[in-house]
């Protein structure tokens, strides 16, 4: 059995702090939003792709007896954003910029597909939702997080929900030729594999590590984490047999969403020492071994450069993070 994710230290008090969690209408993200509310954060922004599902989640959160007693008057707001659309992210950002500052952002929304399905933007869905869109969203949120740090006098947090599946990728890094663009390589249908979800999380952790090295941890603490195997509806898009196999596995071995969400809350409330770290089971853990090699470090740097270049092209309104 997986070790228990530690409790949130009693000293964590988010009074006066604003928080945004993507994919917070259900699963781990929903429980993460509930934890932030129980820690007295307000407002908590539920960044979701369906406002109907967001409103239903908001109602449940505000009816929570602990939230009602410990965070009376807590504000929960719904923001619509579809990570399968760069235009939706740009529209979300234009509107959300009105909040002027933010203290914590947890980029949790994610998907898994075992088939190559292009979005209307022409990118493979898992690559776009789990990787490119999180990178784009993060660049839009960074100025708000920096402003939140100035206003509160303490660093803000940007936490990316990754996965230990990053340890299991089969792509041959050497098969990406030096002159090839990494994003185009992964977007090429010929290079799509059943490990696409795992690859998307490896890219996300690599990007996070590089991001953290560019932004001072006195401004924004940037890290990524894995919540472990959690009993959610994450297998919705999996092939029939796998979906039912995973349902059995999750019912026997998985953590509750509440416990999984603690991994997110812990990563999003570390001190500056947590910047650039990867967490699993609520503890600092090495990321995919490849990212620690010299080849992996060079790959990570190139990935960062090419990702920034691409998101600037896809959304010229995105502010350069450095």
161 binds ligand NAP (CB under 6 A): yes
Annotated catalytic residue, options 197, 244, 278, 279: 197
Determine the 3-state secondary structure of 278 from DSSP. strand
Distance of CA 143 to the CA centre of its chain: 17
Tell which one of 109, 126, 199, 314 touches ligand NAP (CB under 6 A).
Answer: 109
- Residue 112: which region, alpha, beta or left (left: phi > 0; alpha: psi -120 to 50)? beta
Nearer to ligand NAP, 31 or 219 (CB): 31
Nearer to ligand NAP, 82 or 210 (CB): 82
Please give the residues from 273 up to 292 whose contact with ligand NAP meets the rule CB under 6 A. none
Nearer to ligand NAP, 219 or 307 (CB): 307
Tell which one of 52, 120, 233, 293 touches ligand NAP (CB under 6 A).
Answer: 233
Residue 119 token pair: 């979005």
84 binds ligand NAP (CB under 6 A): yes
120 binds ligand NAP (CB under 6 A): no
| Closest to 224 in 3D by CA, of 135, 303, 134, 160 | 160
Nearer to ligand NAP, 26 or 101 (CB): 26
29 binds ligand NAP (CB under 6 A): yes
Give the whole-angstrom CA distance, residue 207 versus residue 107.
13
Give the whole-angstrom CA distance, residue 177 versus residue 284.
33
Q: Is 272 exposed, middle or buried (0-12, 13-18, 19+ CB in 10 A)?
A: middle
52 binds ligand NAP (CB under 6 A): no
- Closest separation between CB of residue 199 and ligand NAP, Å? 12
40 binds ligand NAP (CB under 6 A): no
| Dihedral, CA of residue 91, residue 97, residue 98 and residue 100, to nearest 10 | 170
Q: Is 116 a catalytic residue?
A: no
Nearer to ligand NAP, 3 or 271 (CB): 3
| Closest to 111 in 3D by CA, of 135, 127, 122, 93 | 127
108 binds ligand NAP (CB under 6 A): yes
Helix locations, the chain, DSSP H: 27-38, 51-63, 65-70, 86-96, 125-126, 133-152, 182-187, 196-214, 240-253, 257-267, 289-292, 294-314
Tell which one of 93, 102, 104, 129 touches ligand NAP (CB under 6 A).
Answer: 129
79 binds ligand NAP (CB under 6 A): no
- Binding-site ranges for ligand NAP (CB under 6 A): 23, 25-29, 48-50, 53, 82-84, 108-111, 129, 161, 163, 226-227, 229-230, 232-234
């Amino acid at each position: 059995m997986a070790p228990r994710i530690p409790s949130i230290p009693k000293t964590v008090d988010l009074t006066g702090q604003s928080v945004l969690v993507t994919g917070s209408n259900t699963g781990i993200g929903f429980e993460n939003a509930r934890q932030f509310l129980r820690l007295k954060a307000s407002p908590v922004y539920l960044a979701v792709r369906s406002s109907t599902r967001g409103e239903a989640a908001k109602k449940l959160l505000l009816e929570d007896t602990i939230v009602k007693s410990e965070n009376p008057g807590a504000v929960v707001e719904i923001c619509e954003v579809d990570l399968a659309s760069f235009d939706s992210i740009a529209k979300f950002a234009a509107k959300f910029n009105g909040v002027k500052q933010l203290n914590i952002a947890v980029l949790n929304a994610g998907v898994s597909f075992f088939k190559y399905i292009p979005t209307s933007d022409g990118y493979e869905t898992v690559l776009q939702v789990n990787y490119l869109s999180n990178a784009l969203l993060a660049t839009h949120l960074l100025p708000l997080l920096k402003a939140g740090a100035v206003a509160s006098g303490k660093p803000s947090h940007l936490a990316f929900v990754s996965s230990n599946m990053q340890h299991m990728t089969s792509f041959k890094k050497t098969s990406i030729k030096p002159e090839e663009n990494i994003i185009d390589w992964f977007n090429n249908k010929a290079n799509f594999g059943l490990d696409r979800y795992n690859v998307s999380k490896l890219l996300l952790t690599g990007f996070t590590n590089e991001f953290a090295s560019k932004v001072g941890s006195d401004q924004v603490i940037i890290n990524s984490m894995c919540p472990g195997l959690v009993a959610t509806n994450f297998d919705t898009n999996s092939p029939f047999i796998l979906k039912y196999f995973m349902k059995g596995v999750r019912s026997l071995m998985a953590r509750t969403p509440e416990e999984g969400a603690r991994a997110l809350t812990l990563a999003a409330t570390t001190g500056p020492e947590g910047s650039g770290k990867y967490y699993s089971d609520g503890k600092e853990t090495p990321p995919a071994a490849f990212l620690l090699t010299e080849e992996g470090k060079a790959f990570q740097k190139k990935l960062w450069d090419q990702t920034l270049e691409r998101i600037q092209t896809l959304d010229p309104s995105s502010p350069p993070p450095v």
